[in-house]
Amino acid sequence: MKTVAYHNLGCKVNAYEMDAMLESLREHGYQIVPFEGKADIYIVNTCTVTNIADRKSRQMLHRAKKTNPEGIVVAVGCYVQSDTQAVEADSAVDLLIGNNRKKDLVKILENYMNGVVQENVIDIYHASEYEEMQITSTVEHTRAYIKIQDGCNQFCTYCMIPYARGRVRCRAKESILKEIKGLAAAGYKEFVLTGIHISSYGIEELLSLMQAIDMIEGVERIRLGSLEPRIITEDFVRELSVLMHLCPHFHLSLQSGCDSVLKRMNRHYTAKEYLEGVWLLRKYFDNPAITTDVIVGFPGETELEFDITRQFVELVGFYEMHIFKYSKRRGTKAAVMPAQVSEEIKTHRSNVLQAIELQDSKAFRASYIGKDKQVLFEEKKVLSGKEYWIGHTKEYVKVACEVEGKILENQLITGKIKGFLQDDILIM
């Protein structure tokens, strides 16, 4: 029996695809073993969203080859797709597999081991059909990420993803529902719809899909992945608000609160339009969790433009912000823009927004103290010498519960929030 070790990098789409690849490997008799030890085959599902992601991908490939020089090291995914020549030239890598060949992993592996040479990184830019993959289980035991689309047509000036993932391809509704029904029957309670750009699934189509998921027996929670602000219309939000199992947790990608920076980024909305979307969510949902991404130090970002963004995020009051210092990506328009911002300034601006994020995030969590909240418990952890079960509310606020001798995994429990256990964990 061949042993396979794996390491997954990057987004939830990568995590879903890794689950599907592992399932296929198990079905064909491969044994999954820890990445840190010796294995016959090492699979690294790579990421290329930033230069740091590229570097981490290379590091994991080299670590695998160092652990077992005789093992087959397989590089899969976005870094492979975006910089094929560099990966081909890397002596640590034995086999390359592009994004739209992940579903064929086992066949490609066995061809390689039988000495069959083939091209496994093909042109994804002109792919028009969704590459079907299915899962019946995940690494997590309570929450399942469900991939509903792939690719992106937005071409933000800082981003390589359209080149690594190709144009938009959407998964058939029937396929999604079949997968969720199987996972719900297996005991999974929460389902997160994910993709590279799920807003491109279409407003009516996405709403219809969610309405159908809402009716599936065993589904207790539905959570949406990252959304574009333009999808947040009054009709869409009104229809969302009547779904029984939708979690009031919305990730709206911002990137900048300044219109001139948004224009240079090729983002297709204004700060005013974004704010209107936030107001709509707060109109139809009671204290929803609104999270976002922000890039600081984008080429040409002046002190005034950054200050406009700072004021904007203070106005919105996000539950959480993922703050990124702009990372130059070779092959993007932003990489050759004038007035590149120094690392020192990026760090300062990042620190300013991080301070705001910490304050607003704590205030949002504190608003639940004294209230009864439903928590889906996921794992047991030792904190300050005591054992706690840890889970999340519908708003994705982390909550701990000290219950000696009981197993709460995958249970939904409603209780009163007493206060903070740690800065980012409440206690029930």
Q: CA 166 to CA 8: how far, in whole Å?
A: 20
Q: DSSP assignment of 116-141, as one string?
A: ---------TT--S------S--SSS
- Give the model's confidence band at 50: pLDDT under 50 very low, under 70 low, under 90 confident, else very high: confident
Comparing 64-73, 125-134, 353-362, which segment has the lowest mean pLDDT? 125-134
Instruction: Name which of 134, 132, 233 is nearest 182 in CA terms.
Output: 134
pLDDT of residue 8: 97
Taking all residues of the chain, what is their mean pLDDT, rounded to a whole number?
95
- Work out the average pLDDT over 291-318: 98
pLDDT exceeding 90 applies to what percent of the chain? 90
Instruction: Name which of 262, 257, 254, 291 is nearest 397 in CA terms.
Output: 291
pLDDT of residue 330: 87
pLDDT tens digits, one per residue of 352-402: 999 999 999 999 999 999 999 999 999 999 988 899 999 999 999 999 999
Is residue 308 predicted with pLDDT exceeding 90?
yes
- Give the model's confidence band at 267: pLDDT under 50 very low, under 70 low, under 90 confident, else very high: very high
- Give the model's confidence band at 128: pLDDT under 50 very low, under 70 low, under 90 confident, else very high: confident
Is residue 127 predicted with pLDDT exceeding 80?
no
Q: Do domains 3-113 and 143-366 have the same CATH topology?
A: no
Is residue 1 predicted with pLDDT exceeding 90?
no
Is residue 47 predicted with pLDDT exceeding 90?
yes
Q: CA 117 to CA 108: how far, in whole Å?
A: 9
For domain 3-113, say whether CATH 3.30.450.20 is its number: no
Comparing 71-75, 128-132, 415-419, which segment has the lowest mean pLDDT? 128-132
Token couple for 410: 């995958």
pLDDT exceeding 70 applies to what percent of the chain? 100
pTM of the predicted protein model: 0.94
Q: CA 83 to CA 164: how far, in whole Å?
A: 9
Q: Which residue has the tokens 């001139």?
A: 260
- Work out the average pLDDT over 259-282: 98
Domains in the chain: boundaries:
3-113, 143-366, 372-427
Q: CA 76 to CA 60: how far, in whole Å?
A: 12
- Give the model's confidence band at 333: pLDDT under 50 very low, under 70 low, under 90 confident, else very high: very high
Instruction: Classify domain 143-366 at the CATH topology level.
Output: pyruvate-formate lyase- activating enzyme (3.80.30)
pLDDT of residue 244: 98
- Work out the average pLDDT over 157-174: 94
pLDDT of residue 30: 97
- Work out the average pLDDT over 185-206: 97
pLDDT of residue 269: 97
Q: Which residue has the tokens 């995940």?
A: 138
Is residue 239 predicted with pLDDT exceeding 90?
yes
Q: Tell me, what DSSP letter sits at residue 162?
A: H
pLDDT of residue 152: 95
